[in-house]
Amino acid sequence: MKSAVVLLPGLNRDRDMIAALTKISGTPPVTVWQTDTEIPDVDLITIPGGFSFGDYLRCGAIAARMPVMRAVAEKAAKGVMVIGVCNGFQILVEAGLLPGALMRNTSLKFVCRQVKLQIANANTMFTRRYQPGQIIRSPVAHHDGNYFADTETLARLEGEGQVVFRYAEGTNPNGSINDIAGIINSQGNVLGLMPHPENLIEAAHGGSDGRALFESALGIAA
Amino acid sequence: MIKARITVTLKNGVLDPQGKAIEHALSGLGFGGVGQVRQGKVFDVELAESDKAKAEADLKAMCDKLLANTVIENYSVAIT
C-alpha cells in the first residue's frame, strides 16, 4: 500500500504523519505540495494537522482552495482513501469533501490533552482493526474542533453510520454536537477527525492506540 | 472602481461561543439590558469594475466560494 502526505504552509504535524506512515507501512509516503495539480498513484492520502495559512479567514478555508485540493477531490471521487487529521479535517470540510463545519471550542480555549474515543463504527476501512464500541486514548490539540452540522445532516450522519469516532467518558474537549470526534463521507473513503492518532503509535508515545487506524487503512495485520 | 462592503454573520441556531463571551463581558462592564450578541466579519473590497450588476454578481460568487462558509454563515453585499 502506498501513501501520500499533503504539505501546505503552516502545517506542523506533517513530520509526525510521515514518521507514523513510514513506521507502520515500512515505506515512506510521497509528499505533495499545495501547488501540485496531480497526486501520484497511491492508496491513501493524508492531510496532517497544523495551522495552514495561519488559520486566516477560517481554519482550513484558504488551504481548501489550493490546487492540490482539487487533485485530492479527484482521487477521493475515484475511491482513494483520504484521512484529514485536525487542521486536515477542517480543510476537508471547507473543501466540501465532508459535511458540516468545525467551529471555535465552546470553552474558547485551545485544548492540548489526552481524551478518550469510542469507536462508533468499526465497520469502515479506517476502523476495521478496532472492536465496535472500543474505547481508545488519543491526544487532541486544537482551538476549533467544535463539530457542527444542521439537523438534517446530523440525522443522516448518525443514521448512515458516518460518525466513526465519538469523545467518550465525558472527555469532549470542544463542545462538538453529539460528542462527534470523527466522521466519514457517504462513500466511506474520506475520514476526518480532530484527534491525533499519529501521535500514539508506539511505546515511546506512551501507547499505540492510534496504530490500528493506519493498519486498517493500509491493510496491515496487527 | 467600485467599493463594496461584505458582511458575514452566523446563521440563526448556530452556537456562537465568542458572541456569548462578548455578551458576558459587556454585562460585566455594567451595560444593563444587553441581550444576545453575535460576532461576524466585515470585508471591504475594491473592484476594478464599472458595471454595478457585474460587480454584485462577482462579489456574491466570492462569498459563496471563499468569504463565507454557507454551512454556518449568511452574507450580505452592499455596494457603497
pLDDT tens digits, A26-44:
999 999 999 999 999 999 9
pTM of the model: 0.94
Q: Which residues of A touch B (CB under 8 A)?
A: 57-58, 61, 65, 93-94, 99-101, 103-108, 146, 148-150, 175
pLDDT at residue A67 greater than cutoff 70: yes
Say if the Cβ atoms of B15 and A106 lie within 8 Å.
Answer: yes
CA of B66 vs chain A CAs: smallest distance (Å): 7
**Tens-digit pLDDT profile for residues A89-125:** 999 999 999 999 999 999 999 999 999 999 999 999 9
> Mean pLDDT throughout A211-215?
97
Residues 6+ apart with CB under 8 A from A105: A111, A142, A143, A144, A145, A146, A173, A174, A175, B17
Q: What percent of chain A has pLDDT over 90?
A: 98
Say if the Cβ atoms of B17 and A100 lie within 8 Å.
Answer: no
Alpha carbons A218 and A24: distance in angstroms, whole number = 9
CA of A106 vs chain B CAs: smallest distance (Å): 5
Q: Which one of A150, A152, A157, A172 would you mutate to disrupt binding with B, by most B Cβ within 10 Å of its Cβ? A: A150
pLDDT at position A79 is: 97
Q: Which amino acid is at A142?
A: H
Alpha carbons A75 and A146: distance in angstroms, whole number = 27
From first to last of its 80 residues, chain B has per-residue pLDDT tens of 999 999 999 999 898 989 999 999 999 999 999 999 999 999 999 999 999 999 999 999 999 999 999 999 999 999 98
pLDDT at position A220 is: 85
Sheet of strand A3-7, all strands in order from the earlier edge strand to the far edge: A30-33, A3-7, A44-47, A81-85, A190-193, A180-184, A163-167, A111-119, A135-142
Alpha carbons A173 and A30: distance in angstroms, whole number = 33
On whether any CB of chain A is under 8 Å from the CB of B61, the answer is no
Alpha carbons A27 and A37: distance in angstroms, whole number = 23
pLDDT at position B15 is: 87
Say if the Cβ atoms of A101 and B72 lie within 8 Å.
Answer: yes
pLDDT at residue A222 greater than cutoff 70: no
On whether any CB of chain A is under 8 Å from the CB of B67, the answer is yes
Closest in A58, A65, A108 to B18, CB measured: A108
**Tens-digit pLDDT profile for residues A172-202:** 999 999 999 999 999 999 999 999 999 999 9
| Count of residues in chain B | 80
Average pLDDT of chain A is 97
